[in-house]
């Protein structure tokens, strides 16, 4: 048995070492110059939706939508239309975006004029894919799946991709839920010289009930470089923005912007989906 | 042609002069323990020629055949020898330790030394107060000029503005890859087994390479040639001990081990009905020394150390099938090495090292249920097998050469699955097996008694699949000794690095991943110049050093922790920025009092360092996250009497940089299943453009030496960390309440209101203690038994 004094000493020591202290450093921030913020991620075969707002101060200002702007939309440098506001700060085109075309916008908002441009890439070619539902165990000791797939590569062209998996209830499942999506890491064809890009990615979808039956659908987006940069920076931003004891020393990432004279993103992607993969659990065999 | 002939004649005459003289070489050792004396001075008093022993205790010089030698080393009686030998001689000189050395608690080199090199003796190591109550090598190094630790809990160090992955750790000449425990709370080195630490921060001799910023050369003790003896120690974090003694008339051993003491407490604190975890670490060091004959010595050493984080779970599914699961995360490294020291002749000495080292992070998962079994193992590792041969050859009285070759086979893997049947995704763009080979030569020219020139060159060849890189590293050192004890040195060194380090704080505590060079990530490269001055005062009672340097680096990596919380990819290279440039320049000043009842060290270090990447901060230079321009350290030690000694350490550092937010904006989330979300995000200023509050802290410790009832020496150490409870910043964050519970705007689209900037501080005032009991010679086993029984 430990001596009582020793137990107290251990208890106090552990308490002190893990007792952290939070103190206020600053609550009065200098004003920030107001800029126009453009947000648009455009997809092949869809109309172009643009969200306009203003930047605000760190602490007190409300972020206001831009309601009286004029947006000129150009397709391959030809003016296609001038967009009008649908709802607060949201402007939508009549034009349907098509792969291979370059779209640019000119936003006139009072004294400010901002510009941006993007090209919709051609669709990815999925050569093959497989799901392994019991590929790995997570820290909580539950099984999780893996997806392996191959995409056609063109080493002479910069190619950027985003993958995700849609999880939906299978038709005969007793357990019903709304489908949802898990985002996988972005990747590119940098340094891949062969004619195929092969990715094998573990993703977390803990399999806990033998009654549930799921289907997995692999979604591949071929993206513009600016989309790739933006989404990468957005995920890194979250890691720093909400630090914990492990991530506190992560590097700050400013969210990527390709808007001239303003902030935000104007980028494009082209999406395709695999056929659903019906998941069968071990206990179903 | 005529000029060439004259030059040849000149060389032959000089060499003949050398041959006409007597060459003396050998080792200086402790008469009691047979431990080598590093930095002992051998002075030919007749001819006024002096040399110091190297880290193997080896010396070599040339003189007339009738010499009077004075061999001195602090803490030992000076020995005078008259040698009248007509031929070259190899000597082993044994020095007797002084009986009364109370007023000399520090061992430092007696002559003025190159301020590019810092040394830390075992005695100095013991005198630095620490958080755990027991000495810590990496924390202690941070009191030396030019070296700083990165964070409060971090053992990672930055030397002269370099990155943490640019430091080479050598344990008895063999590379050790990972030196941290408990996310940097402690380092892996057991103090009892350390003889001497030498840190090269610049002016690198050609025998060292493969890292840009520093060489941390740690020499382990050899076991004493006595009956077994040792010590055990208990502190608030761990218990440790060592045992040493002779194996035979020519061989000795030393074994040291350490293990955390708080594993059960964590397991108890975390225990739930069906789940528990525990954390711990351990280290084992073994060294055997074999003095085969006067010309040959062998020593073997092994190290094994791991951190582990283990969890167990029992679960029951809807069909009442029970499953027991176990997850084990283990990270650390092991090392096995053999060294052969051979005095081929009085002017030639060969040191050969063969070592095998592996650093790895293992994630093991195992489940066993009523209907199923499953095992899974993921490993990320860096292994190397290294052969190094160094030949020390004195050509003439004025020219000593050190040359050799080094070859390493490195095997890298990043989170590869070992599950049977799994098709490992190809991660590496240029393969994962690398052969690094180097050849080096160093010439030490004693141009006059006061002017010395060291010229060196190192050739490196890195070979990976379809990638061959050759580079040449020139080294230069000019030393000028003037006005008796004044020493001025100019150094130039180029270095290359064959692998890159990225730290992953978010996976399993503070883990490190090593990546080999590739076309995209070529070898890091640095050029450094330095100008230093040092002086001894009152026969080395006091010493001062001052040095200024400039270092340029290229092909640096930057890892920004891109991490998807719900995705376990093999590894994401998308977060690595490459092709970075860096500069560092600074001024280092230190003063030491080496003898007397008070000893101490004052050091000030100004260091400016920046990084520049095309993909970061709009290609503008920025301060890296561990940059602290001003560092000031005071360490004072007082030996009050035979029982009590006191140590005080105060440190001041500029606050770490942080990136301030300057505004807010709306950002769009990628569309998922037909739904598009907009939410608020912060706009940040230039990266690391502001600094947190300055860091300062006072630590004190007291050592009380006493004897147990059984007559064993016992040392109690009492310490207080952060005496005046300074709330030093660990990191800054924005939130609308003073906690780490955040409102995530991206989840509900609601605005972030009333944001404020907060500081997180850890490690307030903290008491510590440790006790160490020594067991002498024959009584050892009996003492242990009795100690456990009675104490």
Question: A24 at the B interface (CB within 8 A)?
Answer: yes
Please report which helix (H) or strand (E) contains residue B12, including its range: helix B2-19
At B490 the three-state DSSP class reads: strand
pLDDT per residue as tens digits for the range A177-201: 777 887 777 888 877 788 998 887 7
Q: What is the set of domains in chain A, with CATH numbers?
A: 36-120 (2.60.40), 126-225+270-280 (2.60.40)
pLDDT value at position A8? 44
Question: What are the C-alpha distances in Å from B543 to residues A121, B537, B602?
Answer: 68, 6, 11
Query: Residue B730: its chain A contacts at CB < 8 A?
Result: 20, 248
Place of tokens 């045992």: B243
Mean pLDDT over all residues of chain A?
82
Higher-confidence position of B561 and B607: B607
Nearest to A244 by CA among B739, B756, B689: B739
Please determine, for residue A172, whether its predicted confidence score (pLDDT) is greater than 60: yes
pLDDT value at position B780? 52
Higher-confidence position of B233 and B270: B233
pLDDT value at position B58? 80
Please determine, for residue B153, whether its predicted confidence score (pLDDT) is greater than 70: no
A42-51, B163-172, B573-582, B726-735: which range is least confident on average?
A: B573-582
Q: How confident is the model at residue A76 (pLDDT cuts 50, 70, 90)?
A: very high
ipTM of the complex: 0.89
Query: Structure pTM?
Result: 0.82
pLDDT value at position B418? 46
pLDDT value at position A226? 96
Percent of chain B with pLDDT over 70: 85
DSSP letter assigned to residue B710: T
Instruction: State the Cα–Cα distance between residues B740 and B730, nearest whole angstrom.
Output: 13
Question: What are the C-alpha distances in Å from B448 to residues B399, B477, B479, B481, B492?
Answer: 11, 15, 11, 10, 21
pLDDT value at position B316? 72
CA distance A251 to chain B (A): 5
Higher-confidence position of B746 and A64: A64
Query: Residue B262: its chain A contacts at CB < 8 A?
Result: 10, 14
CB atoms within 10 A of CB A193: 8
Mean pLDDT over all residues of chain B?
82
What torsion do the CA atoms of B734, B735, B740, B743 make, to the nearest 10 degrees?
-130
pLDDT per residue as tens digits for the range A206-235: 665 544 577 889 999 999 999 998 998 888
Please determine, for residue B421, whether its predicted confidence score (pLDDT) is greater than 70: no
Cβ distance of B567 and A184 shorter than 8 Å = yes
Instruction: State the Cα–Cα distance between residues B342 and B391, nearest whole angstrom.
Output: 9
What torsion do the CA atoms of B266, B270, B275, B277 make, to the nearest 10 degrees?
-30
pLDDT value at position B227? 83
**Closest by Cβ to A140, choosing from B313, B669, B730:** B313
Beta bridge pairs of residue B147:
B159
Q: Which two tokens stand for residue B452?
A: 């010395």
Nearest to A187 by CA among A216, A215, A149: A149
Per the CB < 8 A criterion, the answer to whether A269 and A222 are in contact is yes
Length of chain A: 285
**Closest by Cβ to A253, choosing from B417, B560, B570:** B560
pLDDT value at position B31? 75
Cβ distance of A244 and B740 shorter than 8 Å = yes
**Closest by Cβ to A248, choosing from B374, B662, B731:** B731
Cβ distance of A255 and B425 shorter than 8 Å = no
Nearest to B129 by CA among B714, B649, B728, B770: B649
| Disruptive mutation site among B663, B750, B753 for chain A (greatest number of A CBs within 10 Å) | B663
pLDDT value at position B266? 73
Where are the extended beta strands (E) located within B346-432? Answer: 348-369, 373-396, 399-417
pLDDT value at position B782? 57
B48-62, B152-166, B328-342: which range is least confident on average?
A: B48-62
What is the rounded average pLDDT of the residues A161-189? 79
Burial class (CB in 10 A: 0-12, 13-18, 19+), B635: buried
What is the rounded average pLDDT of the residues B386-397? 92
Q: How confident is the model at residue B570 (pLDDT cuts 50, 70, 90)?
A: very low
pLDDT value at position B337? 97
Longest dimension (CA), chain A: 84
Please determine, for residue A10, whether its predicted confidence score (pLDDT) is greater than 50: no
Please determine, for residue A86, whether its predicted confidence score (pLDDT) is greater than 50: yes
pLDDT value at position A141? 63
Please determine, for residue B668, whether its predicted confidence score (pLDDT) is greater than 80: yes
Instruction: State the Cα–Cα distance between residues B154 and B514, nearest whole angstrom.
Output: 18
Query: Residue A199: its chain B contacts at CB < 8 A?
Result: 425
Q: How confident is the model at residue B563 (pLDDT cuts 50, 70, 90)?
A: very low
DSSP letter assigned to residue B124: H
pLDDT value at position B371? 64
């Amino acid at each position: 048995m430990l001596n009582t004094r020793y137990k107290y000493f251990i208890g106090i020591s552990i308490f002190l070492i893990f007792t952290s202290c939070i103190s206020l450093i600053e609550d009065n921030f200098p004003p920030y110059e107001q800029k126009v913020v453009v947000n648009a991620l455009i997809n092949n075969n869809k109309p172009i939706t643009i969200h306009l707002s203003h930047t605000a101060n760190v602490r007190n200002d409300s972020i206001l939508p831009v309601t009286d702007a004029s947006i000129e939309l150009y397709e391959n440098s030809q003016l296609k239309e001038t967009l009008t506001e649908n709802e607060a700060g949201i402007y939508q085109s009549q034009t349907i975006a098509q792969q291979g075309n370059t779209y640019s916008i000119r936003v006139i908002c009072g004294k400010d004029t901002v510009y941006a441009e993007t090209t919709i890439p051609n669709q990815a070619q999925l050569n093959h894919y497989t799901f392994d539902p019991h590929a790995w165990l997570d820290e909580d000791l539950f099984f999780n799946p893996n997806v392996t797939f191959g995409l056609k590569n063109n080493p002479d062209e910069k190619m950027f991709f985003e993958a995700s998996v849609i999880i939906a209830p299978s038709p005969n499942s007793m357990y019903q839920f709304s489908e949802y999506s898990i985002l996988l890491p972005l990747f590119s064809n940098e340094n891949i010289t062969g004619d195929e890009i092969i990715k094998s990615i573990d993703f977390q979808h803990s399999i806990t009930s033998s009654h549930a039956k799921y289907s997995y659908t692999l979604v591949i987006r071929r993206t513009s470089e600016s989309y790739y940069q933006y989404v990468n920076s957005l995920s890194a931003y979250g890691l720093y923005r909400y630090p914990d004891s492990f991530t506190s020393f992560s590097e700050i990432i400013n969210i990527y912007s390709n808007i001239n004279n303003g902030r935000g993103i104007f980028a494009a992607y082209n999406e395709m989906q695999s056929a659903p993969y019906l998941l069968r659990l071990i206990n179903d065999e | 042609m005529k000029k060439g002939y004259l030059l040849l004649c000149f060389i032959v005459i000089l060499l003949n002069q050398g041959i006409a003289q007597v060459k003396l070489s050998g080792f200086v050792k402790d008469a009691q323990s047979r431990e080598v004396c590093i930095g002992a001075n051998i002075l030919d008093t007749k001819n006024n020629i002096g040399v110091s022993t190297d880290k193997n205790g080896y010396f070599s010089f040339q003189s007339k055949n009738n010499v009077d030698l004075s061999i001195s080393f602090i803490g030992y009686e000076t020995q005078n020898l008259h040698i009248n030998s007509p031929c070259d001689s190899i000597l082993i000189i044994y020095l007797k330790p002084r009986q009364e050395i109370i007023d000399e608690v520090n061992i430092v080199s007696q002559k003025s030394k190159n301020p590019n090199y810092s040394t830390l003796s075992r005695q100095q190591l013991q005198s630095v107060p620490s958080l755990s109550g027991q000495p810590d090598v990496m924390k202690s190094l941070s009191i030396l000029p030019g070296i700083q630790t990165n964070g409060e809990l971090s053992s990672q160090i930055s030397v002269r503005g370099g990155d943490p992955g640019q430091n080479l750790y050598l344990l008895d000449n063999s590379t050790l890859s990972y030196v941290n425990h408990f996310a940097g709370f402690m380092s892996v080195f057991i103090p009892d087994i350390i003889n001497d630490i030498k840190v090269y921060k610049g002016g690198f001799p050609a025998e060292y390479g493969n890292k840009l910023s520093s060489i941390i050369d740690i020499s382990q003790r050899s076991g004493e040639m006595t009956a077994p003896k040792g010590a055990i120690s208990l502190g608030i974090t761990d218990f440790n001990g060592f045992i040493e003694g002779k194996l035979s008339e020519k061989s000795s051993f030393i074994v040291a081990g350490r293990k955390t003491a708080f594993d059960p407490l964590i397991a108890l604190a975390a225990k739930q009905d069906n789940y528990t975890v525990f954390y711990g670490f351990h280290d084992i060091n073994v060294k055997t020394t074999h003095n085969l004959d006067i010309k040959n010595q062998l020593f073997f050493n092994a190290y094994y150390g791991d951190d582990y984080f283990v969890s167990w779970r029992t679960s029951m599914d809807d069909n009442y099938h029970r499953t027991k699961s176990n997850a084990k995360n283990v990270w650390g490294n092991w090392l096995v090495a053999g060294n052969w020291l051979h005095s081929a002749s009085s002017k030639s000495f060969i040191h050969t090292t063969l070592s095998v080292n592996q650093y790895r992070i293992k994630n093991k998962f195992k489940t066993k249920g009523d209907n199923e079994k499953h095992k899974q193992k993921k490993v990320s590792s860096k292994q190397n097998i290294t052969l190094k041969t160094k030949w020390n050859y004195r050509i003439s009285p004025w020219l000593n050469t050190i040359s050799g070759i080094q070859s390493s086979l490195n095997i890298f893997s990043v989170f590869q699955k070992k599950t049977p049947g799994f098709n490992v995704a190809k991660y590496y763009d240029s393969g994962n097996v690398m052969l690094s080979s180097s050849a080096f030569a160093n010439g030490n020219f004693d141009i006059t008694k006061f002017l010395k020139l060291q010229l060196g060159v190192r050739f490196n060849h890195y070979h990976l699949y379809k990638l061959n890189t050759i580079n040449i590293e020139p080294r230069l050192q000019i030393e000028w000794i003037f006005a008796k004890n004044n020493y001025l040195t100019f150094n130039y060194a180029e270095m290359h690095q064959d692998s890159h380090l990225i730290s992953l704080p978010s996976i399993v505590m503070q883990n490190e991943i090593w990546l080999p060079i590739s076309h995209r990530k070529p070898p890091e490269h640095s050029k450094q110049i330095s100008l230093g001055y040092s002086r001894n005062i009152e026969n080395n009672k006091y010493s001062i050093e001052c040095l200024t340097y400039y270092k340029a680096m290229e092909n640096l990596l930057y890892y920004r922790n891109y991490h998807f919380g719900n995705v376990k990819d093999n590894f994401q290279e998308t977060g690595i920025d490459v092709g970075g440039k860096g500069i560092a320049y600074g001024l280092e000043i230190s003063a030491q009092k080496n003898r007397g009842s008070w000893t101490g060290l004052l050091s000030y270090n100004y260091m400016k360092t920046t990084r520049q990447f095309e993909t970061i901060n709009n290609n503008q230079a920025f301060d890296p996250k561990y940059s602290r321009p001003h560092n000031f350290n005071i360490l004072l030690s007082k030996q009050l009497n035979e029982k009590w000694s006191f140590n005080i350490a105060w440190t001041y550092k500029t606050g770490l940089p942080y990136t301030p937010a300057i505004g807010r904006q709306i950002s769009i989330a990628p569309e998922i299943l037909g739904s598009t979300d907009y939410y608020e995000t912060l706009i940040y200023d230039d990266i690391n453009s502001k600094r947190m509050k300055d860091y300062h802290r006072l630590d004190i410790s007291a050592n009380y030496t006493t004897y147990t009832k059984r007559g064993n020496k016992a040392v109690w150490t009492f310490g207080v960390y952060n005496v005046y409870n300074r709330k030093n910043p660990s990191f800054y964050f924005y939130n609308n309440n003073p906690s780490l519970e955040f409102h995530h705007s991206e989840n509900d689209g609601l605005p972030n209101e009333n944001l404020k900037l907060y500081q997180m501080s850890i490690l307030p005032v903290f008491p510590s203690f440790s006790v160490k009991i020594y067991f002498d010679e024959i009584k050892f086993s009996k003492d242990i038994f009795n100690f456990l029984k009675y104490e």
